[in-house]
Structure 1
Amino acid sequence: MSSAQMEDQSQSSVKYTEIGANERDSETNMSSSTSRFDYYDPISPWALDIGGSLIKLVYFSREDNSLENYLEKSVPAENIAVLNGCNGHPILNGKLHFEKFETTKINECLDFIESKQILGSCGKRQEVSGSKTLTIKATGGGAYKFANLFKEKFGVRLDKEDEMDCLVAGANFLLKAVPHEAFTYLDGHKEFVQIDPNDLFPYLLVNIGSGVSMIKVDGDGKFQRVSGTSIGGGTFWGLGRLLTKCQSFDELLELSHRGNNRVIDMLVGDIYGGLDYSKIGLSATAIASSFGKAISDKKELQDYNPEDIARSLLRLISNNIGQIAYLNALLYGLKRIIFGGFFIR
């Protein structure tokens, strides 16, 4: 999913870029679920982002899977309190692991945490009603909705962080510090880019989750949500599930890769006899009406291939997000748009 799959805005000066933690090229030596991370501040061994559709879990592990043993053996006793006080930055040469779960299947997430034994004893403990409670960082609406569940299951307290603050801070960090984290996508070609940190701001951050938020970022800690839409990843997943019977987001996305949206979408060429509408800059392959051919076809839902339906739906939602983002960039005079969120692959 990328700006190249959205309506043609090639004549504008706005730059479209995606942030994707789910894909890496071979040069980065990173898998889709694990990233090398040489520095770790032991506030908690894991953290959560609990959204409307997905739970994103990140947890830290050393090569020997024993952070506590490392601290005991490698860090002077007088420094342990400093480290647990979040003022130290030991070099651990460990890994950050990224996992996802459907929010409706939160018990799978709980079982995973339990099976991996990642609760950890090195997390930050706070005095709560006379006893020390392990505190875990969490963001998203589910951090409020499921707080009691995590407390009952693991005896942990979810320290809730504002999701917009986390989103902007995370995007700024990735764009400034992590190579091969941002890429452009045009005509089927993905190219990783490194953005000059001195030329990053301002930009429009388009976070595509269940819904979509569009945030004007002016600097570190300086941002404003300027727009959004309810038609996002949750729409693609929910409507796609009803139309294709796919049981997961990944299954639906994979299905779309094998589809042909031209079977269902009405193109400019379908209206103009295969010709471009060159006077206003529309190519024959531009989509004039998503699902438009279903109007005249004497077919029922079962007569269409699920792959084609998924492809058309993906284009519909992507084009809508891209158009709204483009118009907001024009409105606020922004030259760069950054797309992020789990929807981006």
Structure 2
Amino acid sequence: MEGDGIQVERRDEIAALNSSADEVSHLALDIGGTLIKMVYFSSDSDWPVDDEGKRSSKEKGSKNCNFVNGRLHFMKFETRKINDCLQFISSKQLHHYGGWHTEAPVDCKNIIKATGGGAFKFADLFKEKLEISLDKVEEMDSLVAGANFLLKAVDREAFTYMDGEKEYLQIDHNDLYPYLLVNIGSGVSMIKVDGDGVYERVSGTSIGGGTFWGLGKLLTKCKSFDELLELSHQGNNRVIDMLVGDIYGGMDYSKIGLSSTAIASSFGKAISENKEIEDYRPEDVARSLLRMISNNIGQISYLNALRFGLKRIFFGGFFIRGHAYTMDTIAVAVNFWSKGEAKAMFLRHEGFLGVMGAFMSYPNNGLDHLMSKQLVEQLPKSACCPKHEARSPLLGDLTENGSIECSVQLCL
């Protein structure tokens, strides 16, 4: 369900977490200019705990198999409503360590990992309101670490989208690098990734999600990004955009490979029509705006991939939000400019790359540490870890309430 500008879990999940706050651990934040992204882990109290405080299997003969079992929760808040985020953290006592690492030093119990510009901007606010110290993690480091982890650890994380068809990709871990990571937040960063912790920000553009929301708010009076995105779904950009066919009497410009339906000028028809903004449907304005920004990002991304001979372009960031029209527009732009040689690839957990990287940066306790030991999908509670193979820890897509259930099992 959704509250006032805040996404929360179902009521039964809230009750369960509130009744066992000491089982919640590993809170991390990515505080951006538009959105705050949050990841935290809650362990499953159904698993027995041995004398040393480790969760262990119920199965006889499995003393060597200890588990950390639970859920990874993904949340988001509007940055302008940061007090909602603070209230949520306080209500669940998320800033107090618990779960499997209760041995954390006392002086570390109110220190949480945070990335993004807001980790600096709002550091004093977190200290004042919650007595939390933000341990700042470098933003680009976090983005790359989060993307690399998700691409390696999560089955069916990456997919292509064209003409309404989604195709999941099998990522070869030995042939992942190099690739171009395009993170579309308020602005856009384009990062050439050559390995774990090896990257270079090669380009970017100020025309991103903040542009879409900012112009959309001014032009349509929408109150939120999601409202604007939904509005665009109902619109027709051809009412406002000038097409090649509008210039050439409905004909293609085949000599240079432009179809009659290609956009010659975004918002171009507004020049020749004697109309005010009130004369246009907000739906059409939103659609044209989304098309303009998505096309631009797709084109610039491909041109940067071309600079470095990169065939893989992964798009992340909360601008996309799994929106079909956005993905299709970006994919068409990449396909057009590359003449079909490159494909746009999208990520299921697109908006949580940075916060996942921050989450993994907890020394000897983060998800990266768990992966180095043994991380497997959820097993029946009577079974132990079968073989030493890492499988996807994240099960399913984000739910409407903003959380995702996963199993994180540590097999020693």
Contact 2:24 2:41 in 1 (8 A): no
- The CA deviation at 1:117 is 3.2
**1:194 alignment partner, SS class:** coil
Q: What residue is the counterpart of 2:282 in the other structure?
A: 306
**1:224 alignment partner, SS class:** strand
Paired residues for 1:22-171 under 5 Å: 44-64=25-45, 74-77=49-52, 91-122=67-98, 125=104, 133-171=109-147
TM-score by length of 2: 0.66
CA offset digits 1:298-344 (Å, max 9, x no partner): 11000101110000000111111111111111111111111111112
Residue of structure 2 aligned with 1:198, choices 169, 174, 178 = 174
Q: What residue is the counterpart of 1:265 in the other structure?
A: 241
- The CA deviation at 1:243 is 0.5
Comparing 265-274 with 286-295, which one deviates more in the overlay? 265-274
Identity value in percent: 71
Structure 1 letter corresponding to 2:88: F
Contact 2:31 2:79 in 1 (8 A): yes
**2:110 alignment partner, SS class:** strand
CA distance in 1, matches of 2:24, 2:135: 11
Paired residues for 1:275-314 under 5 Å: 275-314=251-290
CA distance in 1, matches of 2:24, 2:164: 41
CA distance in 1, matches of 2:178, 2:27: 31
User: Kindly tell me: are residues 119 and 78 of structure 1, through their superposed partners in 2, closer, same or farther at Cα, counting changes over 3 Å?
Assistant: closer
CA offset digits 1:143-184 (Å, max 9, x no partner): 111112112222222111111011011111111121121111
Comparing 108-117 with 282-291, which one deviates more in the overlay? 108-117
Paired residues for 1:334-345 under 5 Å: 334-344=310-320, 345=322
Q: What residue is the counterpart of 1:13 in the other structure?
A: none
User: Kindly tell me: are residues 120 and 272 of structure 1, through their superposed partners in 2, closer, same or farther at Cα, counting changes over 3 Å?
Assistant: same
Contact 1:62 1:93 in 2 (8 A): yes
Structure 1 letter corresponding to 2:173: P
Contact 2:305 2:311 in 1 (8 A): yes
Structure 1 letter corresponding to 2:250: G
**2:272 alignment partner, SS class:** coil
CA distance in 2, matches of 1:259, 1:79: 55
Q: What residue is the counterpart of 2:354 in the other structure?
A: none
User: Kindly tell me: are residues 321 and 90 of structure 1, through their superposed partners in 2, closer, same or farther at Cα, counting changes over 3 Å?
Assistant: farther
**1:164 alignment partner, SS class:** helix
CA distance in 2, matches of 1:142, 1:310: 28
CA distance in 1, matches of 2:202, 2:93: 41
**1:184 alignment partner, SS class:** strand
CA distance in 2, matches of 1:237, 1:150: 27
- Runs of 5+ unmatched residues, structure 1: 1-30, 35-41, 81-88
CA distance in 2, matches of 1:132, 1:338: 36
- The CA deviation at 1:132 is 5.4
The number of residues matched between the two structures is 289
User: Kindly tell me: are residues 151 and 293 of structure 1, through their superposed partners in 2, closer, same or farther at Cα, counting changes over 3 Å?
Assistant: same
User: Kindly tell me: are residues 273 and 90 of structure 1, through their superposed partners in 2, closer, same or farther at Cα, counting changes over 3 Å?
Assistant: farther
**2:304 alignment partner, SS class:** helix
